[in-house]
Chains A and B, each alone.
Chain A
Amino acid sequence: MEFDWTIALRYRDALIDGLLMTLQVSVLGIIGGTLLGIIVACVRAMPGLFARRLAITYIEIVRNIPALVKIFYLYYVLGFNAMLAGLIGLSIHQSGYISDVITSGLRSIPREQTESARVLVCSYPQTFAFVLVPQLLRLTIPPMTSQYIEVVKNSSIVMFLGIAELTWQTQQIEFETARGYVAAGIATLLYLAIALSISGLMSVAAWKWRRAI
């Protein structure tokens, strides 16, 4: 039994590269997942049963297939390159959950808010922009925080497509030194740091809006 913490120093560059790649994949995945989630939630909120059922079916399919299967499908069957398959897979995977967050946020805004705006003769776009969206942003901060952390966590599976992010580097260090646990420990701390930064950023926003809602 030996602890060889010098491994962390020796593989410093690999870990930093991995961290940067993880950040890149996560940020793009968060953006993609949010945009897709917004679209799905909008379709779901559209009047009429057809749009609603379409959105719900999409959500059910997306939720019930593991993310790993999605990225393999995109990579091996649909022939996307590794990065694109990973990003699309992560975005689609999280969009199902994010759209749910937005839908329940929309539902928790009292009906009187939109009706007040209508009685005040605001148009639909005005109601949406001045009344619904600002409230939605505030209401969805806590659930969105966990959604975004989830994207960061899921970003580790793109290692299966050979993308050299943090988890891939960890495995690489294990292969080369058989002391992967050191790298895993450091990688864990880095993941925790990312998660903490995300929730920190989100609580800054929440703090800014603390007086309203």
Chain B
Amino acid sequence: MSIAALGEATPPPVDPTLASDRRQVVIWWIFVVCVLALLIWKLSALNWGLVWRVSPLLFQGFTVTCGLTLVSVGLGMLVGIALAGARMSRFAPIRYVSMAYTETVRATPQLMVIFWIFFSYPVFVGHNMSPWTGAVVSLTMIASAYLAEVIRGGILSVPIIQSESATVIGLSRVQAFVYVLLPQACRNMLPAFVTTLVTSFKVTSLVYVIGLIDFFRAASLINNRNFAPATIYTVVAIVYLISCFTLSRLVGLLDPKYKLQ
């Protein structure tokens, strides 16, 4: 008995890699606390009275940014579905038109797309476009091109064998699409969709150029009036950081599968 026990390798008290990980976690949190303390100390030096005074304006801008994102992504989704369908059409010219549109928009600076709309509209229609309409139209154009690719990617990500199996067990083409292809495609495109949503949220800051008072322009206007760039732009960065981070975590909420990194 005792001889056998001697032969047993005594397990190390803790696995060395685990121990070093645990130590590093502690170091990490100490680091985080230090950085946060430094940040709070720095932030306390900012002009929070001003932030408080202008917060209604900032909030109004923020709602414009949110509304613009929602409207442009919503409309963009509709156009995007049409574009993705066209891209997979059996009729070649339709395919090419859709392809040319999505590729051109995706390879052009978003500012330039905004300019297309905003500069050409008065020339062709005769009067100026309201900033809101201009922003909605151009951001929808941008979102639709990206979303078309997201949708197409989602559909292409489902293996052909899935729809083939569906047909083999007797489903019609439409049934196969609705019951087999679509649910899987939606699931697969979710991360890319959320990425596009976050991108759209950030891109709204560009409507600055056509004078729509979104969150970013509201902040810049306040800065022009009060000249407190450190305060204003720090607040802007923090607000964008928190909103985009929250938005990007949406994917884990919508589908628990993606919670695991």
Contact = CB atoms under 8 A, between A and B. Distances in A.
User: Do A's and B's CB atoms come within 8 Å in the complex?
Assistant: yes
Contacts of B206: 68, 157
A67 to B, nearest CB: 8
B109 A156 contact: yes
Contact of A73 (B110, B119, B237): B237
Interface stretch (B54-62, B82-90, B178-186, B241-249): B241-249
A184 B115 CA distance: 7
Interface string A57-93: 0001101111111101100110000000000000000
A53 interface: yes
A40 interface: no
B230 A77 contact: yes
A179 B123 contact: yes
B66 to A, nearest CB: 14
B119 A48 contact: no
Contacts of A191: 107-109, 112
A63 B112 contact: no
A114 to B, nearest CB: 18
B241 A65 contact: yes
A178 B122 contact: yes
B70 to A, nearest CB: 17
Nearest to B236: A69
Interface stretch (B8-16, B24-32, B252-260): B24-32
B237 A65 contact: yes
Interface in A152-204: 152-157, 159-160, 167, 170-171, 174, 178-181, 183-185, 187-188, 191-192, 195
A50 interface: yes
Contact of A195 (B20, B107, B220): B107
B244 A64 contact: yes
A61 to B, nearest CB: 6
Given A1-B124, A187-B112, A160 B208 contact: yes
Q: DSSP class of A's interface residues: helix, strand, loop or mixed?
A: helix
B162 to A, nearest CB: 25
Contacts of A181: 115-116, 119-120, 123
B229 interface: yes
Interface residues of A, number: 46
Nearest to B201: A66
A121 interface: no
A64 B123 CA distance: 37
Q: Which residue, A70, A155, A157, A179, has most C-beta atoms of chain B within 10 A? A: A157
Nearest to A156: B109
Contact of A77 (B104, B234, B241, B245): B234
A174 B82 CA distance: 33
A158 to B, nearest CB: 10
A157 B107 contact: no
Contacts of B198: 63-64
B115 A48 contact: no
B25 A49 contact: yes
B156 to A, nearest CB: 16
B178 to A, nearest CB: 32
Interface in B87-137: 104, 107-112, 115-116, 119-120, 122-124, 126
A72 B122 contact: no
B216 interface: yes
A174 B121 CA distance: 12
Nearest to A187: B112
A184 B229 contact: no
A180 B119 contact: yes
Given A49-B21, A174-B119, A188-B112, 16 more contacts: A1-B123, A50-B24, A50-B31, A53-B28, A63-B198, A63-B244, A65-B240, A65-B241, A68-B216, A69-B233, A160-B208, A178-B123, A180-B115, A181-B116, A184-B112, A187-B112
12 contacts: A1-B123, A1-B126, A48-B24, A64-B241, A65-B202, A67-B202, A68-B205, A153-B107, A184-B116, A185-B116, A188-B112, A195-B107
The 8 A-B residue pairs whose C-beta atoms are closest, nearest first, are A156-B109, A180-B119, A64-B244, A76-B229, A181-B120, A66-B202, A49-B24, A195-B107
